[in-house]
Amino acid sequence: MFIAGDGTVTRGRAAVARMYAARFTRMTAVRDGAVVQQGMTVLGPTRILEWGHGWLELAPAHSGERPMRSDGTYVTLWERQGDSHWRIVRNLAF
């Protein structure tokens, strides 16, 4: 499930994949960006909580315009699965 800032809810893996695919085709080129982990804590043998912030700088849509920058914080819950791989089970971006 993906809940956008305006409250719009997108449900299901295929629907979320379509949403991102459509979003990426409308974006200008990414010029710079980063994800900065600010902390992590072990909640138990199969759960880790991570938090931090990230940002992107996109190329201007038109010549002479300034680049667009977006940024925000995140909280991610990781869970160790039965196959021993860690997977994101919740991701909140603000």
The SS3 of residue 58 is: strand
CB under 8 Å to 28, separation ≥6 — which residues?
58, 59, 60, 61, 68
Look at the domain 29-93 and name its fold.
Answer: Nuclear Transport Factor 2; Chain: A, (3.10.450)
Q: Six-digit token pair at 86?
A: 């860690």
Q: What is the pLDDT of residues 2-31, one digit of tens each?
A: 888 788 899 999 999 999 899 888 889 999
Domain ranges of the chain: 29-93
Give the predicted TM-score (pTM) of the model: 0.74
Q: What is the pLDDT of residues 34-65, one digit of tens each?
A: 999 999 999 999 999 999 999 999 999 888 99
Please measure the distance between the N-terminal and C-terminal CA atoms of the chain and give it in whole angstroms.
15
